[in-house]
């Protein structure tokens, strides 16, 4: 099932017993804390607490430390107990001030960073 709410386009992925919200479109970027709140709402409306974000759905501001978008977004997701997998392929070019060390530091309680979708999904649904 696909859905577009406000600025965010997402799919609900069914994996048997589990489902998760997946956001991965360059046509709808996670730009603000409000966008993150919309994803939390999408998770709740679809009765899941699992979220997968792809690098192409993250705005350039997400990767700029001075904007605080990444910190605000990840804090909101963590506080709302939304287990989040962020997929950033090795060949993805990050515009902004982030480097590889910074990207790895995004991982935390309930937040995982992966270079491919398969590993991200396994982690999300605990395979």
Cα–Cα distance between 113 and 126 in angstroms, integer?
15
Give pTM, 2 decimals.
0.84
Q: How far lies 104's CA from each of 11, 47, 96, in Å?
A: 25, 29, 15
Question: Is residue 59 within 8 Å of residue 51, measured between CB atoms?
Answer: no
Average pLDDT over residues 36-61: 92
- Give the pLDDT confidence score for residue 26 in this predicted structure: 60
Query: For the chain, which domains are there?
Result: 2-124 (3.30.750)
Q: What is the pLDDT of residue 97?
A: 52
Calculate the average pLDDT of the chain: 82
Q: Residue 29: pLDDT above 80? A: no
pLDDT digit string (tens) for 54-107? 988 888 888 777 888 888 888 889 889 999 999 988 887 666 555 543 555 556
């Amino acid at each position: 099932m696909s859905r577009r709410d406000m600025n965010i386009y997402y799919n609900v992925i069914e994996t048997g017993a589990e489902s998760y919200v997946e956001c991965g479109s360059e046509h709808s970027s996670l730009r603000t804390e409000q966008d993150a709140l919309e994803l939390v709402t999408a998770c709740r409306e679809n009765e899941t607490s699992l979220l997968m974000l792809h690098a192409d759905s993250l705005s350039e501001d997400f990767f700029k430390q001075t904007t605080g978008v990444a910190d605000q977004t990840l804090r909101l997701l963590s506080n709302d107990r939304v287990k989040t997998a962020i997929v950033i392929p090795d060949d993805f070019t990050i515009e902004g001030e982030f480097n590889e060390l910074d990207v790895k530091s995004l991982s935390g309680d309930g937040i995982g960073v992966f270079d491919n979708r398969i590993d991200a999904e396994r982690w999300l649904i605990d395979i």
